[in-house]
A and B are shown apart, each in its own frame.
Chain A
Amino acid sequence: MKKTPNPVKNPYFAGVILGIVLFAAYALTHSGLGASGAIGRIQVSITKLFWSSHVDKVGTFAALGAGDRNALDHPSLFLLLGTFAGGMISAGLNGRLKVEIFKGSKITKIQRLFFALLGGLIMGYGARLARGCTSGQALSGGAVLSLGSWAFMFSVFIGGYAIAYFVRRLWAD
């Protein structure tokens, strides 16, 4: 493995690849890309391991994994596994496969992990509320001109920019 990571690709080049992959997803599977649907399914199947009666009780959980239904037996899971594999392959080839914690310079590693967990929690909650994440709603819905997806996309940017100033310490150089 290389010592110094390769520089990242031109963002427009990466975008063209992304667009072609997205088109392929629509052409071969009728639907776009996504990540949060699979995350919801993982959550349900983990809950089921420890507390299966609860899964039957909560509406959104039951829809995915009530009774004998295996929440993980769904195409979105394989899309997620593929995303994981693709990320690993590309990181490996470009010398970026390395255990590390990315953070701003003014916070500790523990603080960073806390905020990553918190941000993930907020994001996971919002993604279920909006019925999709940045990839499933904004990217996929944006390409087929879904109005809701465009409204969603601008909301994400607005939400981020509105709060960015107040959390600038997290990302200080």
Chain B
Amino acid sequence: MLPIDISILLGKAGGYLVFFLIGTGFGVSLELAGFGDSRRLAAQFYLKDMTVLKTMFTGIIVACLLIFLASGIGWLDFSQLAVNQTFLWPGIVGGLIMGVGFIVGGYCPGTSIVATASFKIDGLFFLVGTVLGAGLFGETLPSFENFWNSSFTERYLVSDWLGWSIGATVFAVILMALFMFYGAEKVEEFFRNKGTGKAFSWKITRRSYIYGAATLVSVAALIWIIGQPDPIRKWKIFESQYASQLTSKAVFIHPLEYVKSNNESSIKLVTLDLRQPKDFDAFHLSGSENVTIDNLLDAKVVARFTQLPPQGVVVLIAENDSVSIKAWQYLKVQGVVNLYILENGLHNWNSLFADKTVEGKPINLASPQAGVLKLFPQNAYIPKIKIGTKKHAGGLCG
């Protein structure tokens, strides 16, 4: 099941080798497109050679179709991919600045690496410039750090913004790309110059372009039709991957561990109470939220729990552990990283804490203080909570 955790499979060195090989493929594809030549890249901005647009968008839509097709079929868990975080305004301003750098310098960081590798001196100078620019950024950042961290959303997809399904969005993106390709061809016919961008190594007939476009549209339509798996179907697909955490009880925590974590500043607990509202109203833990199992099938509700800060831990409480297990399954396949079940819900809670006192005072049952832990032996429970993070190799470019 994809994505594979390659560094676990092959170790650190093996993982680095895979990164190297992927990089090699990346370098080859950029070089094949002719991106080692600044004149070709700059020509994009004079409408003489639209290779940048064509190659880049072809790359995007091919990868996009493969990802969402694999996800739709159930071969790939999209929630496990590192989607670039959205910092909308810093991204837009940085993009505008980069556009200027692109046309002044003739490369972008990736293509300047390829140019340098093929001994282009201007590529090397550009690459040295990017290193200096990165340094200059670090030096000047303190004066606008608030802006740099503004307009942030952890995982905000075009489909969320449009309010469309992923399938519909992918279909629209493909149509837009094809429309842009058609426009690019027409524009090029008009402005093309002799220097770059005329002959390719092989000519493709008009008919094969049409077949190519038809294939893209058909795959996009297929993705739209099969749709992305909902949490229930997704659990069936990925059960083998996660089920052992339930059967081994590795995600069931003891009330004392809950109390301990709740009093630790390095952990931020988010407690979801799945009991009936009347039971919730009668008694609940401070800070817990009453939710229904159906809420947890709603991507908008769940987005809050997949986008917690790294120290965030979600704990589920229910009348019956079978309900918490179901909730755990739904949340797990939607990408909630640190997810635990309070074993046996609140059934043991009262008997554990009811008659206890700390420094002569009865304890607050809804939020027992850390002092309570001293009343129990050290080995009263086995600690289970381990803070994991989804950011595997994230920040490759950040």
Contact = CB atoms under 8 A, between A and B. Distances in A.
Interface of A: 6-40, 42-44, 46-47, 58-61, 75-76, 78-92, 94, 96-104, 112-113, 115-164, 167-168, 170-171, 173
B398 interface: yes
B299 interface: no
B60 interface: yes
B121 interface: yes
Interface stretch (B83-91, B230-238, B251-259): B83-91
A121 B23 CA distance: 23
Contacts of B83: 141, 144-146
B33 A154 contact: no
List of 5 A-B pairs having minimum Cβ-Cβ separation, nearest first: A119-B105, A159-B99, A136-B397, A120-B129, A82-B23
Contacts of A47: 135
B22 A24 contact: yes
A102 B113 CA distance: 15
A160 B22 contact: no
A30 B55 contact: no
A91 B115 CA distance: 9
12 contacts: A14-B55, A18-B62, A20-B25, A26-B63, A118-B104, A120-B131, A122-B97, A122-B104, A123-B133, A128-B138, A144-B84, A160-B44
Contact of B393 (A76, A87, A88): A76
Contact of A145 (B3, B157, B398): B157
A125 B173 contact: no
B182 to A, nearest CB: 12
B225 interface: no
A121 B32 CA distance: 26
A104 B39 contact: yes
B64 A156 contact: no
Contacts of A140: 84, 396-397
Nearest to B70: A27
B66 interface: yes
A38 to B, nearest CB: 8
Contact of A37 (B50, B87, B106, B395): B395
A128 to B, nearest CB: 4
Interface of B: 2-6, 15-34, 36-40, 42-46, 50-51, 54-64, 66-67, 70, 76, 78, 80-88, 90-123, 125-139, 141-142, 145, 148, 153, 155-161, 166, 169-170, 173, 181, 193-195, 199-202, 204, 209, 212, 392-398
Given A75-B16, A148-B91, A128 B133 contact: yes
Contacts of A9: 32-34, 200-201
Given A21-B25, A28-B22, A135 B108 contact: yes
A168 to B, nearest CB: 7
Given A102-B39, A136-B398, A164-B46, A173 B86 contact: no
B134 to A, nearest CB: 4
A131 B275 CA distance: 42
Contacts of A154: 95
A75 B16 CA distance: 6
Contact of A22 (B5, B63, B114): B63
Given A30-B5, A36-B134, A131-B94, A80 B397 contact: no
A7 B97 contact: no
Given A82-B21, A171-B46, A115 B105 contact: yes
Contact of A120 (B25, B88, B97, B101): B101
A41 B269 CA distance: 34
A121 B136 contact: yes
B228 to A, nearest CB: 11
Nearest to B75: A27
A10 B202 contact: yes
